[in-house]
Amino acid sequence: MAKFFDQIEPHIAAFIAEQHIFFTATAAASGRINISPRPTGCFRVLNPNAVCYLDETGSGNETAAHLRQLDRMTIMFCGFESVPLILRLYGHGRTHPVGSPEYEALLKSAFGGEATPGARQIVRLTTDFVQTSCGYGVPLFEYKEERQTLHRWAEGKGPDGLVSYRQEKNRFSIDGFPTGVPEALPLAAE
């Protein structure tokens, strides 16, 4: 029932565009494995072998820490509403922090130059393997709406408050690995 692809075929990109949530999985050589849910509004298919997402400030920054240690990453989508399908994008990830030339270029080309409140980096995955499987065991859910809590929280913090928060909460993983957040962070693009 599983099918394998060397790239993101058009029907796979169409499936991605219909979803409301995806999950990222990363791990360093030691320590904990991280799996995080993310909204698909921040996700872009760049080409048949590359995707990215605009990552917002959160309670941790495990993905960035893990990708600095070991660049392997999996992104998973599940068809919760219609087509019973699981999609996994396997590959090598990299983070591009706010203010870096790579961030600015991707923000412009993939997101129309618009960052969400609290944006801290863009995570890019170069895929080397794509897998679909049946998803028959995935529950059927009906999408209601996006939560606005994180955006309201980021707007309430303001640019300086977000810099302080990242310094306090986002510089190291829960296993103590550095995330690459510098001691003085540039402010997110408004």
Q: Following DSSP, what letter does each residue of 88-103 receive, concatenated?
A: EEEEEEEEEETTSHHH
pTM for the predicted model, two decimal places: 0.93
d(CA 28, CA 30): 5
Element (H, E) at 18: helix 10-18
Q: What is the CB neighbour count within 10 angstroms for residue 20?
A: 15
State the fold for domain 3-137+146-169. Pnp Oxidase; Chain A (2.30.110)
Chain-centre distance for alpha carbon 103: 14
The per-type count for the chain, helices as H runs and strands as E runs, is 4, 8
Flag whether pLDDT at 96 surpasses 90: yes
Tell the burial category of 107 from Cβ atoms under 10 Å away from its Cβ (0-12, 13-18, 19+): buried
Express each pLDDT in 71-90 by its tens digit.
999 999 999 998 899 999 99
Express each pLDDT in 102-111 by its tens digit.
999 999 999 9
Domains of the chain, by residue range, sit at 3-137+146-169
d(CA 93, CA 71): 5
d(CA 96, CA 94): 7
d(CA 188, CA 160): 10
Express each pLDDT in 3-61 by its tens digit.
999 999 999 999 999 999 999 999 999 999 999 999 999 999 999 999 999 999 999 99
Low-confidence winner among 103-107, 124-128, 180-184 (lowest mean pLDDT): 180-184
Question: What residue has token string 């590359």?
Answer: 50
- What confidence score (pLDDT) does residue 125 get? 98
Largest Cα separation within the chain, whole Å, is 50
- What confidence score (pLDDT) does residue 182 get? 74
